[in-house]
Amino acid sequence: RKVVALTGAGMSAESGVPTFREAQTGLWAKYDPQELATPEAFRRNPARVFSWYASRLQAARRATPHAGYAALVSLERFYAGGFTVVTQNTDGMHSRAGSGSVIELHGSMEAFRCVQCRHPYPSDAVLELAASDHEVPPPTCSKCGNFIRPGVVWFGEMLPGDALERAGQAAQAADVALVIGTSSLVYPAAQLPSMVIAGGGKVIEVNPETTPLSSQADVSWRATAGEALPMLVEALTREVH
């Protein structure tokens, strides 16, 4: 009756959203993404980090959510009121595909804000500013004059407390967790499946590769998100009719 879908970068892979761990292209080929996604990197070179996020947002906006996203939207209808997506992704694809109950653990590339007072800044304006193939300095806050930064969680930063708390509650209450497209290496997200198990729920992993979670999962389904999720919805719908 209660289902939680925990998703990671592999969820977006079939929609062509470039991940961190993939080789970067064009202007960004010479940088290590793990070294751009930190508060220190932004302090050192705000233009570079801001422009990199603008280019990632642009790539995410150009991507079309694949059939697995639509399948999660169907599951939300199927388990009316009992289905939550908890994602580590910052690309906004779940909401764009039509999922209503989405917890973004690592923030969102759509949610730019002031580094100081957190006043929001529209992402469409970010894309206009950064449309050229050059590094551009971040805009400044209309309220306090400080730089605008992406609303994502950088390495070394705390996760948003309310999102983490709601994710923990969803995990503890879940009868079933679908763990889709995550390497299950990055904490605290990687600890959510253990909370599901501790609460008596079952864990179904969807991932073409083995992960540290595979041996603890009740089912470890070696398939991609785009293949597995539509099949799952089909099977559930067939059983009900």
The least distance separating ligand APR from the CB of residue 156, rounded to whole angstroms, comes to 11
List contacts with ligand APR (CB under 6 A): 8-10, 13-14, 19-21, 88, 106, 180-183, 185-186, 206-209, 211, 224-225
Dist CA 136 CA 232 (whole Å) = 45
The least distance separating ligand APR from the CB of residue 36, rounded to whole angstroms, comes to 12
Catalytically annotated residue among 66, 94, 106, 119? 106
The least distance separating ligand APR from the CB of residue 147, rounded to whole angstroms, comes to 21
The sign of the CA dihedral 125, 101, 3, 228 is negative
What is the length of the chain?
241
- Whether 241 sits among the annotated catalytic residues: the reply is no
The smaller minimum CB distance to ligand APR, of residues 129 and 164, is found at: 164
Closest residue by beta carbon to ligand APR = 10
> Which tokens go with 224?
């991609």
The smaller minimum CB distance to ligand APR, of residues 34 and 237, is found at: 34
The least distance separating ligand APR from the CB of residue 187, rounded to whole angstroms, comes to 10
The smaller minimum CB distance to ligand APR, of residues 141 and 228, is found at: 228
The smaller minimum CB distance to ligand APR, of residues 21 and 134, is found at: 21
3-class secondary structure per residue, the chain:
CCEEEEECHHHHHCCCCCCCCCCCCHHHCCCCHHHHCCHHHHHHCHHHHHHHHHHHHHHHHHCCCCHHHHHHHHHHHHCCCCEEEEECCCCCHHHHHCCCCEEECCEEEEEEEECCCCCEECHHHHHHHCCCCCCCCCCECCCCCCEEEEEECCCCCCCCHHHHHHHHHHHHHCCEEEEECCCCCCCCHHHHHHHHHHCCCEEEEECCCCCCCCCCCCEEECCCHHHHHHHHHHHHHHHHC
The least distance separating ligand APR from the CB of residue 211, rounded to whole angstroms, comes to 5
The smaller minimum CB distance to ligand APR, of residues 72 and 141, is found at: 72
Nearest CA among 200, 24, 148, 10 for reference residue 88: 10
Residues annotated as part of the active site? 106
